Amino acid sequence: MKILAIESSCDETAAAVVENGRTILSSVVATQIAEHQLYGGVVPEIASRRHCEAINGVVRETLSQAALTFREVDALAVTYAPGLIGALLVGVNFAKGLSMATGLPLIPVHHLRSHIAANYLAHQDLQPPFLCLVVSGGHSHIVEVTDYTEMKIIGKTRDDAAGEAFDKAARTMGMPYPGGIHLDKAAQNGNDHAFSLPHPKVDGCPYDFSFSGLKTAVINLIHNASQKGESLPVNDLSASFRKAVVDSLTDNFFRAAENLGHTKLVLAGGVSANSLLRERTLQECEKRHWQCYYPPLNLCGDNGAMVGAQAYYEYLAGHTASADLNARAAMSIE
Ligand code: KG4
Ligand code: ZN
C-alpha cells in the first residue's frame, strides 16, 4: 500500500510516499528555518504563509521523485495535531482537497505518533510493544507503545519541553535558532562538570520532567556574568547543560523501563538527534543487554516519511477521516 503523506505542523513543509509503513519511495522537506532565524524562533503567521506557498510544489516534487501519479497512490495522510494551528490547517485543508479531487481515503496522523514511527522506517525488525522517549521542540513524554496505535503516557514534562529548553539556553548563549544542534556541538568540546546546575525532579512523580528551572539557572548565570562585564565559557556551559538535561531524561526513562519491565527502548523526536542522549541510551541498554533503537539523523526532525509510516498502521486500525476533519493545536498521543 502506497501512502502520500503531508506534514506542516511547524516550520517544515514536507511530503513523502511510503510503502507499507516501512519503505520510503520519496521524501521532500522544504524548511523555513532560515527565515525564522531572523526572529530567534518560529513566527506562526510566517510559518502558515510559507506552508501555503510551498505545499503544492512539495507534493508535486514528492510524486515526481517516486515516479508516481495520484492514480498509483492508495491513500493520503496528513498531520492534523498537535502543532501550530495555522500551520496544521494548511496541510489538513490541502489534503482534504486532494482527497475530494482524487477520491483517495485520507488518514489523519498525530504528530508525536509519527515521530515514533520514524523508527519503523529505519529498523525493519522493530515492532511494539516498547517504551519510547519522545522528545521534541514542544513535547517530552515517556510513552508505553503497546501496539502501533495503542499508547499510554507514563511520564511527561510539567513545563518546558526538552527541545524548548535546549533552544532557549542556546539562544541566551547567542546561538542561532533552533539552538539545540548548536548547543550539542559546542558541548562536544566542553567540560560537563564546569558548572553545577540543578537536576530537577518532580516530587511524587518519578517519571515526570521539569526543565524550566534548569533553563532559568543557565539564563541567570549568563545574565549575572554579563552584568559584571564577563562572559562564560560557552562550550563548558553547553556541556554542563546538556548533561543535566540528558541525565534527567535517561534517569526517568530507565527507571520507568525497569519498573514496568520493558527491555526494548526507543528514542523519537527532534531531540533524539542529540549525540549524548543517543550515546547514553545505547550504553545503558548495552549494559543491561536490552534492545535500543533511535532514528537516523535525517528522520529525527519533522518529515513526511514518518507520517506515511504511522498512517499505514492507522489505516490498518480503521482510522480514516471524513471531510469534516479539523486540525487541533493540542491533542494527547493516547
Ligand atoms: O521534533 P522536532 O523536529 O519538531 C517538533 O515537533 O517540535 O524537534 C525540534 C527540536 C528543536 O527544539 C531542536 O533544537 C531540537 O529538536 N534538536 C536538538 C538537536 N537537534 C534538534 N536538541 C538537542 N540536540 C540536538 N542535536
Ligand atoms: Zn516534530
The pLDDT, as a whole number, for residue 188 is 98
The pLDDT, as a whole number, for residue 199 is 86
Atom of ligand 1 nearest to the CA of 161: 12
Contact 156, 140 (CB under 8 A): yes
The pLDDT, as a whole number, for residue 195 is 96
- The residues whose Cβ lies within 5 A of ligand 2, an ion, are 136, 302
Which ligand sits nearest to residue 306's alpha carbon?
2
Contact 151, 333 (CB under 8 A): yes
For ligand 1, atom 23, which residue shows the shortest CA distance?
180
Residue 139 corresponds to which cell in the numbers above? 513535547
290 lines ligand 1 (CB under 6 A): no
The pLDDT, as a whole number, for residue 193 is 97
The pLDDT, as a whole number, for residue 23 is 98
Report residues of the chain scoring pLDDT below 70.
none
- Predicted TM-score (pTM) of the model is 0.97
Strand segments, DSSP code E, in the chain are 2-7, 12-19, 23-31, 75-81, 106-110, 130-135, 140-147, 150-156, 264-268, 291-293
Question: Ligand 2 centre from 271 Cα, in Å?
Answer: 9
Strand segments, DSSP code E, in 104-251 are 106-110, 130-135, 140-147, 150-156
Rounded Cα gap, residues 318 and 297, in angstroms: 31
Give the number of other Cβ atoms within 10 Å of residue 256's Cβ.
20
The pLDDT, as a whole number, for residue 104 is 98
pLDDT tens for each residue of 205-238: 999 999 999 999 999 999 999 999 998 999 999 9
Atom of ligand 1 nearest to the CA of 164: 12
Residue 251 corresponds to which cell in the numbers above? 534517569
The pLDDT, as a whole number, for residue 201 is 87
Question: Ligand 1 centre from 163 Cα, in Å?
Answer: 5
Which ligand sits nearest to residue 304's alpha carbon?
2
Q: Alpha carbon of 78 to those of 69, 113, 324: distances in Å?
A: 18, 12, 14
Atom of ligand 1 nearest to the CA of 301: 3
Question: Ligand 2 centre from 229 Cα, in Å?
Answer: 38
Q: Among positive and negative, which fits the CA dihedral 246, 247, 248, 254?
A: positive
Which ligand sits nearest to residue 31's alpha carbon?
1
